[in-house]
Structure 1
Amino acid sequence: MDSWVRFNGQSQAKERVFRAAQYACTLLGSTLQHDEAAEVRRTVSQLEAHMSLTRKLLRLGNSVEALEAAKRAIHLSDSVLRLCLTISHLNRAMYFACDNVLWAGKTGLISKLDQHKWSQRSFRYYLFALILNLTRDAYELHLLMEREARSRTSKQPSSPSIPLPPDHLSSSSSPATQAMNFGWLYRQLHLVGTVLYSNPPLLLDLVKNSCDIFIPLDRLGIYPTGPGFVGACGLASSVLSILTMVHPWLKLKP
């Protein structure tokens, strides 16, 4: 009950719920392709549009929050995290600003607004922010993998070095070399799995950003995937966002 009260009191909680409902409508609409379902599909499409407009209303003022987050990130000691998070928050601020302009255009407060141009502009900012977030996730994963590898090395007893085969026997196509490459790949994948399993916040953030990135890629025409896939990705990332609000310890920090 305490988790639910905390979730319901957060400013972004309702926006996340509407986001999940919007992409659920997108996913549902993609499954209604029969002629006899035209009326239902039209109703779902109208509901999706209302959800989108409501979300834009709930996001009014989020640019200020993103700018404050950028001011906090600029003081991080790690240079990679400082660069990725600061620029990501600045792009999120521009994305929310464009989104606010779109809301004003859709509600008639700004007449003769080129909504397509502003929508494309907002998705470009959104895409760049997601790329930086994924870069941050990859960097965090790299650091944790190095730490885990050092920990494993320190626990293992030292073994005598194995002499390398002669040059004429160390061809990349030899069975021994291929077995070594497969063994190295297996160890790396096992290391990645171990690190992500022991760090749920990083795992959730990586999956959420990986799902989200397909949305601007589709909207910008860079990598079209269709409304069904976009709806599924948006719904999945929305559920993960709600999960991090209900359980704040699952949110990746800083």
Structure 2
Amino acid sequence: MEAWVRFSAQSAAKERLFRAAQYACAVAADALRRSGASAEALARARQLEAHLSLGRKLVRLGGWAEALEAAKRGIHQPDAVLRVCLTLGHLNRALFCACDNALWAARAGLLPALDQDRWSQRSFRYYLFALVLNLSRDAYELRALLEREAGGKRAHGTDTGRQPRADDTGRQPRADGRCRQLGLRLWLQLRLLLRVLRRNPPLLLDLLRNACDIFIPLDKLGLCKTSPGFVGLCGLTSSILSILTILYPWLKLKP
């Protein structure tokens, strides 16, 4: 109960709930369309999705200021790669939020002359850039953890990825032997990757969340066309993961 009270007191938590409901409606609308539901039921689902989207934009007003403050904190990161990824990622998120605020004002009738299609495309471009930087940061941290784990195993003499040796006749192993060696190495690398991710839940959740989110701007910008149901499922999954990081702060990737 205490975790839920703390969760509901945060504006970011309310935005995540709106987001989860919005994408759940998108999934439901696609399911209704595939099942041949009536046009009225489909229209209601899409209208509810549009209302939730507008509500999200209202809750997210001023989010650009928070993103700018996060960018200022990112500048002081000692690691150069993290400094670039965090700072530029938060700056792109600030620009995305600013465009999103302008779209809310246009849909609320405050800026009727605003070209909504153009500003929507612009906001999704900033959103895509931010997600690419977030995934780059995740990949950098994952690589560092993999190298640390592999170095620790070599230091303890447990590295099994040794080079193939010549046989008793002095000949190198045949092609099938090399394929087996390659398969073994790939299997060991996969085991190492799964072990590192299992030991670092914040990194795993952040990687999954960003990987799900990136399909949304890719689809909206026409770079990777998918179905509305798939986009809705990706958005719903990433929203649930975000809610988990708010409910349990230790799951949030830091810095």
CA gap of 1:62–1:152, structure 2 versus 1, over 3 A, is same
Q: Which residue of 2 is the match for residue 32 of structure 1?
A: 32
Q: Which residue of 2 is the match for residue 9 of structure 1?
A: 9
Q: How does 1:14-25 map to 2 (within 5 A)?
A: 14-25=14-25
Q: Does structure 2 conserve the Cα–Cα contact (< 8 Å) formed by 1:32 and 1:38?
A: no
Letter in 2 for 1:13: A
Q: Does structure 2 conserve the Cα–Cα contact (< 8 Å) formed by 1:170 and 1:177?
A: no
Task: Name the SS of the counterpart of 2:11 in structure 1.
Answer: coil
Q: Which residue of 1 is the match for residue 143 of structure 2?
A: 142
Question: What per-residue deviation string (whole Å, max 9, x for no partner) do you get for residues 143-166 of structure 1?
Answer: 00111111111222699x877439
Q: TM-score, normalised by structure 1?
A: 0.94
Task: Name the SS of the counterpart of 2:237 in structure 1.
Answer: helix
Q: Does structure 2 conserve the Cα–Cα contact (< 8 Å) formed by 1:69 and 1:89?
A: yes
Q: Does structure 1 conserve the Cα–Cα contact (< 8 Å) formed by 2:106 and 2:116?
A: yes
CA RMSD of aligned residues (A): 1.9
Q: Structure 1: where are the runs of 5+ without partners? A: none
Q: Which residue of 2 is the match for residue 77 of structure 1?
A: 78
CA gap of 1:163–1:50, structure 2 versus 1, over 3 A, is closer
Task: Name the SS of the counterpart of 2:38 in structure 1.
Answer: helix
Task: Name the SS of the counterpart of 1:12 in structure 2.
Answer: helix
Q: Which residue of 2 is the match for residue 100 of structure 1?
A: 101
More displaced stretch, 90-99 vs 149-158: 149-158
CA shift, 1:253, in A, is: 0.2
More displaced stretch, 150-159 vs 202-211: 150-159
Q: Which residue of 1 is the match for residue 88 of structure 2?
A: 87
Letter in 2 for 1:63: W
CA shift, 1:37, in A, is: 2.0
Percent pairwise identity:
58
CA shift, 1:2, in A, is: 1.7
Q: Structure 2: where are the runs of 5+ without partners? A: none
Q: Which residue of 2 is the match for residue 46 of structure 1?
A: 47
Letter in 2 for 1:153: R
Instruction: Report the count of equivalent residues.
Output: 251
The separation in 2 between residues aligned to 1:158 and 1:146, in whole angstroms, is 13
The separation in 2 between residues aligned to 1:212 and 1:149, in whole angstroms, is 30
CA gap of 1:197–1:35, structure 2 versus 1, over 3 A, is closer
CA shift, 1:113, in A, is: 1.3
Task: Name the SS of the counterpart of 1:183 in structure 2.
Answer: helix
Question: What per-residue deviation string (whole Å, max 9, x for no partner) do you get for residues 127-182 of structure 1?
Answer: 010001001001110000111111111222699x877439x9558x7011111111
